[in-house]
């Protein structure tokens, strides 16, 4: 089986032009199809076609940490919990492990919180380059009054959020109202200003992979910087078939426009082995540029704890208890 390359081959940061969007092209949208059986067969083979062991596995797990949006989106969030999460984002792996692994410094890709906790997170991350991402627009259902959803984006940006995770109106996809979806996404993109916008498709509620592919394309046409699978609150969140569908839409968009758009799977990715599978799929389908935080993120928190356990096993030969790797 083929082995993935070491971390040193993945380090250079790729710069790219932010997605400016394009006029809505309904002919292109109508031409988009999704062969569900073929997509599912391809997704089922990826974990068996890539093998990473020993130092290569450790390197790829360190890479995965740098791509995590460390997240807390609970109704009982407190400032103390968010501060502890930010401390974990600053130092996601014990210093002794980093020293043995030969990595001087490592942080997560971002910290993701509700609007009410943005200012707390921004203060807790002062002096770092870790961005704060805010979920917005009536997260997770996206059914609050439209003017309030747009206003919420502006409030989060003014509070210091550098990334905004917005939720689309699923009904526009289910009724094939592509103009409405495009207009909504474009206005939300404009409201974000310089903050990057991740469009959450809630793919588990869109019915078909064809809908997922077409919604992905519409959001990119309207200027989304990232497309994201899920809120993490749906019964079905990130899956490999959905991921394959969305990243092929990203690839088609780059082929047509020359613009790179990021991808974020969220919800249900809790094990280190799952992270490796997703990274292998991204590398195969999109290539090295997407193995950087500006083009790929995991929407997860529990994933980090399992990665820490795997790294400790790599260094010591023993698995530690999960409670030794709490988020704060």
Structure-derived torsion over alpha carbons of residues 35, 217, 246, 279, reported in degrees to the nearest 10: 140
Residue 15 DSSP one-character state? P
Quote the CA–CA distance of 155 and 168 in Å, as a whole number.
Answer: 18
198 is catalytic: no
Q: How wide is the angle at C-alpha 269 spanned by C-alphas 264 and 272, nearest 5°?
A: 110
Report whether the peptide linkage leading into residue 140 is cis, meaning its omega lies within 30 degrees of zero.
Answer: yes
Cβ neighbors of 174 (< 8 A, separation 6 or more) are 206, 207, 211
Please work out, in degrees rounded to the nearest 5, the angle formed at the alpha carbon of residue 136 by the alpha carbons of 135 and 139: 85
Strand intervals (E) in the chain: 2-3, 50-51, 68-71, 110-113, 132-135, 163-167, 196-200, 226-228, 262-264, 298-300
DSSP 81-104: HHHHHHHHHHS-S-HHHHHHHT-S
Please name which of 141, 144, 157 lies closest in space to residue 190, comparing C-alpha atoms. Answer: 157
Report which DSSP code applies to 205: G
User: Dihedrals φ, ψ of 296, to 5°?
Assistant: -150, 135
Catalytic residue of the set 63, 88, 198, 228 = 228
Active site residues: 165, 228, 264
């Amino acid at each position: 089986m083929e082995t993935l390359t070491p971390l040193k081959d993945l380090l250079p940061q790729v710069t790219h032009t932010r997605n400016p969007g394009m006029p809505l092209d309904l002919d292109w949208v109508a031409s988009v199809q999704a062969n569900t059986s073929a997509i599912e067969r391809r997704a089922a083979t990826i974990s068996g076609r890539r093998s990473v062991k020993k130092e290569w596995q450790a390197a790829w797990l360190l890479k995965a940490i740098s791509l995590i949006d460390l997240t807390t989106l609970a109704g009982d969030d407190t400032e103390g919990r968010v501060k502890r999460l930010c401390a974990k984002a600053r130092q996601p792996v014990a210093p002794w492990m980093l020293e043995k692994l030969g990595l001087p410094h490592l942080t997560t890709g971002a910290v993701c919180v509700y609007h009410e906790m943005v200012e707390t997170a921004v203060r807790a991350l002062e002096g770092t380059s870790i961005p704060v991402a805010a979920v917005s627009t009536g997260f997770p259902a996206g059914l609050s009054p439209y003017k309030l959803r747009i206003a919420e984006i502006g409030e989060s940006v003014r509070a210091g959020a550098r990334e905004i995770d917005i939720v689309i109106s699923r009904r526009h996809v289910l009724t094939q109202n592509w103009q409405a979806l495009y207009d909504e996404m474009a206005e939300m993109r404009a409201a974000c200003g310089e903050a990057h916008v991740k469009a959450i498709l809630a793919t588990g509620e869109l019915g078909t992979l064809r809908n997922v592919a077409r919604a992905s394309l519409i959001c990119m046409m309207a200027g989304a910087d990232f497309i994201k699978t899920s809120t993490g609150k749906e019964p079905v969140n990130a899956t490999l078939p959905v991921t394959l569908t969305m990243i092929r839409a990203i690839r088609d968009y780059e082929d047509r426009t020359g613009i790179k758009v990021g991808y974020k799977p969220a919800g249900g990715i809790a094990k280190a082995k799952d992270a490796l599978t997703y990274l292998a799929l991204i590398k195969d389908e999109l290539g090295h540029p997407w193995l950087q935080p500006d083009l790929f993120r995991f929407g997860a928190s529990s994933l980090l704890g399992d990665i820490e356990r795997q790294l400790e096993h790599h260094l010591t030969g023993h698995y530690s208890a999960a409670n030794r790797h709490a988020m704060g």
